């Protein structure tokens, strides 16, 4: 992407709803306003997990990912509600419709956050526009938000997180030395706990350290992503605000023709595993995850079918891809001899922008192999967003009707 002309000043807003689920519940039931409220799965069970909570609950020490029993111990008066996804979808649609009244250049990122590009309005006063947006969301939808204003998406994202709730923060490049660089490296969007620990091994503890690090050393440690992180730390980000990104259907796939037609399940499994390995490797190189897995089956009579499954959480690991592809294959295979097999990961999202959508009702299963807080901290840091409940399966939104989801498919 070419550098933009100097006289073309970019004005990017990142609108991030505050404690979205809890705020929606308060808007629906005003009696909850001002009270400690939490949204959690398995609300009747001791093992339930807090997904989000109001700031009143946070002031008592309650936080996302905390076991429900622990939250109630800290805050006996805590009000707990089950998630209502239809309600959250409706609120999200209304929120994005309001943003599009200001500009068509709105890029949804998740159900409760998105970017806006106001660069086309050279005479605009971004602070006034941000204040108008924030006030209208609060008055018309009863939903609070924080807004970051910056010359690019990365800085706008960092800015929106600097003051919550109901904050508006301007972050210019000239502000880097006093607003951004003093922060710990793990507070930077795109850096998770594991990456931060790796950076410490080469003496990088703050965003300042990263911004001034030796590119070769960081690239050697983190690969091509290291160079990108250094650019971000220096406030550089050329990504456009793309309203059509929710309709992107990029894919990575691999197929192979078998040496001879077969119905041997052991051989078929081996081929699927090799295909999954290839697809996973390519996805890792491109640093993306797939929201949908396709399997292609070609029989000895050349009849070809494709079957797909939308993931509840985006996948990229070989084992996950293999498991889903195997399940698809053996569900739809008619036991006739196979000539060709293929696996494709579709509806790709960058790891940096993806959201790990833990299911409220299977959270304990996801976290059973590691300490809960460690797992969730890594997930939230790695994927660059707050913990969000996985979406439900539905029909794909047709182009021309902008929608948004936990992972760009939730409202479809």
| 16 is an annotated ligand-binding site residue | yes
Q: Does residue 121 form part of some domain?
A: no
Q: Could you tell me if 298 and 222 lie in one domain? A: no
Q: 249 exposed, middle or buried (CB, 10 Å; 0-12, 13-18, 19+)? A: exposed
Which residue, chain included where needed, has tokens 């308060």?
26
Q: Could you tell me if 227 and 248 lie in one domain? A: no
Q: Could you tell me if 181 and 250 lie in one domain? A: no
CA dist., res. 410 & res. 48, Å (int) = 23
Q: Could you tell me if 290 and 338 lie in one domain? A: yes
Q: How far lies 397's CA from each of 241, 246, 267, 308, in Å?
A: 20, 9, 38, 17
Residue 248: per-residue pLDDT: 57
Residues marked as catalytic: 113
Q: Could you tell me if 262 and 282 lie in one domain? A: yes
Q: Could you tell me if 291 and 331 lie in one domain? A: yes
Residue 44: per-residue pLDDT: 64
Q: Does residue 250 form part of some domain?
A: yes
Which pLDDT tens digit goes with each residue over 304-354?
Answer: 899 999 888 889 999 999 999 999 999 999 999 999 999 999 888 877 655
Q: Does residue 288 form part of some domain?
A: yes
The CATH number that applies at residue 281 is: 3.30.1490.100
Whether 104 shows a pLDDT value over 60: the answer reads yes
Domain boundary residue among 354, 378, 407?
A: 354
Q: Helix 265-286 to helix 318-332 angle, to the nearest 10 degrees?
A: 140
Q: Which residues form the domain of 206?
A: 177-233
User: 162 with 150: CB under 8 angstroms?
Assistant: no
Which residue, chain included where needed, has tokens 């622990």?
70
User: 240 with 114: CB under 8 angstroms?
Assistant: no
Which pLDDT tens digit goes with each residue over 80-101?
Answer: 998 898 899 899 999 999 999 9
Q: Does residue 92 form part of some domain?
A: no
Q: Could you tell me if 221 and 283 lie in one domain? A: no
Q: Could you tell me if 227 and 275 lie in one domain? A: no
Mean pLDDT, the chain, integer: 83
CA–centroid distance for 360 within its chain: 16
Which pLDDT tens digit goes with each residue over 176-212?
Answer: 999 999 999 999 998 988 899 999 999 999 999 999 9
Report which of residues 380 and 45 the model is more confident about. 45
Domain boundary residue among 322, 339, 354?
A: 354
Which residue, chain included where needed, has tokens 């009270």?
35
What DSSP string describes 74-123? H-TT-EEE---HHHHHHHHHHHHHHHTTT-S-EEEEETTEEEEE-TT-TT
Q: Could you tell me if 250 and 350 lie in one domain? A: yes
Whether 385 shows a pLDDT value over 70: the answer reads no
CA dist., res. 58 & res. 184, Å (int) = 22
| 261 is an annotated ligand-binding site residue | no
CA dist., res. 332 & res. 272, Å (int) = 14
CA–centroid distance for 157 within its chain: 13
Q: Could you tell me if 293 and 346 lie in one domain? A: yes
> Residue 22's closest CA among 31, 33, 13, 7?
33
Which pLDDT tens digit goes with each residue over 257-306?
Answer: 888 899 999 999 999 999 999 999 988 888 888 989 999 999 988 888 99
Q: Does residue 74 form part of some domain?
A: no
The helix/strand/coil state of 175 is helix
Q: Does residue 157 form part of some domain?
A: no
The CATH number that applies at residue 211 is: 1.10.150.20
Q: For the chain, what is the largest distance between any 2 Cα atoms, rounded to a whole number of angstroms?
A: 68
- Domains identified in the chain, total number: 2
Residue 408: per-residue pLDDT: 41
Q: Does residue 202 form part of some domain?
A: yes
Q: Could you tell me if 220 and 249 lie in one domain? A: no
Domain boundary residue among 315, 335, 354?
A: 354
Q: Does residue 402 form part of some domain?
A: no
Task: Kindly report whether the peptide bond that precedes residue 351 is cis, defined as omega within 30 degrees of 0.
Answer: no
Bridging pattern class, strands 168-170 and 145-150: parallel
Q: Could you tell me if 258 and 346 lie in one domain? A: yes
What DSSP string describes 260-315? EEE--HHHHHHHHHHHHHHHHHHHHHHTEEEEEEEEEEEETT--EEEEEEEEEEEE
Average pLDDT value for residue range 157-164: 96
């Amino acid at each position: 992407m070419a550098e933009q002309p100097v006289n073309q000043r970019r004005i990017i807003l990142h609108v991030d709803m505050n404690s979205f689920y809890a705020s929606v519940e308060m808007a629906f039931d005003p009696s909850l306003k001002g009270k400690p409220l939490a949204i959690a799965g398995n609300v009747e069970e001791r093992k339930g997990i807090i997904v989000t909570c109001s700031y009143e609950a946070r002031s008592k020490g309650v936080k996302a990912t905390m076991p429900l029993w622990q939250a109630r111990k800290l805050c006996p008066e805590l009000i707990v509600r089950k998630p209502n996804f239809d309600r959250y979808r409706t609120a999200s649609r209304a929120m994005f419709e309001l943003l599009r009244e200001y500009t068509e250049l709105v890029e949804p990122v998740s159900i409760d956050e998105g970017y806006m590009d106001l660069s086309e309005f050279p005479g605009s006063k971004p602070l006034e526009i941000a204040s108008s947006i924030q006030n209208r969301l609060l008055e018309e939808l009863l939903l609070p938000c924080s807004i970051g204003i910056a010359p690019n998406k990365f800085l706008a994202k960092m800015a929106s997180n600097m003051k919550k709730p109901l904050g508006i923060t301007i972050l210019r490049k000239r502000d880097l030395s006093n607003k951004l660089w003093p922060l710990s490296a793990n507070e930077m969007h795109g850096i998770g706990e594991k990456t931060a620990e790796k950076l410490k091994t080469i003496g990088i503890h703050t965003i300042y350290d990263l911004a001034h690090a030796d590119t070769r050393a960081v690239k050697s440690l983190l690969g091509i992503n290291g160079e990108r992180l250094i650019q971000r730390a220096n406030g550089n980000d050329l990504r456009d605000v793309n309203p059509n990104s929710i309709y992107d259907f990029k894919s990575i796939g691999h197929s192979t023709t078998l040496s001879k037609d077969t119905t041997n399940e052991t051989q078929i499994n081996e081929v699927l595993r090799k295909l999954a390995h290839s697809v996973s490797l390519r996805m890792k190189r491109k640093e993306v995850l797939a929201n949908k897995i396709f399997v292609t089956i070609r029989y000895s009579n050349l009849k070809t079918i494709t079957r797909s499954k939308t993931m509840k959480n985006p996948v990229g690991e070989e084992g996950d891809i293999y498991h889903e592809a195997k399940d698809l294959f053996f569900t739809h295979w008619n036991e006739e001899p196979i000539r060709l097999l293929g696996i494709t990961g579709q509806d790709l999202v960058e790891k940096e922008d993806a959201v790990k959508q833990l299911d409220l009702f299977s959270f304990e299963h996801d976290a059973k192999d590691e300490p809960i807080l460690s797992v969730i901290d890594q997930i939230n840091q790695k994927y660059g967003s707050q913990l969000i409940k996985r979406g439900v399966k539905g029909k794909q939104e047709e182009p021309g009707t902008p929608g948004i989801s936990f992972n760009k498919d939730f409202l479809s």
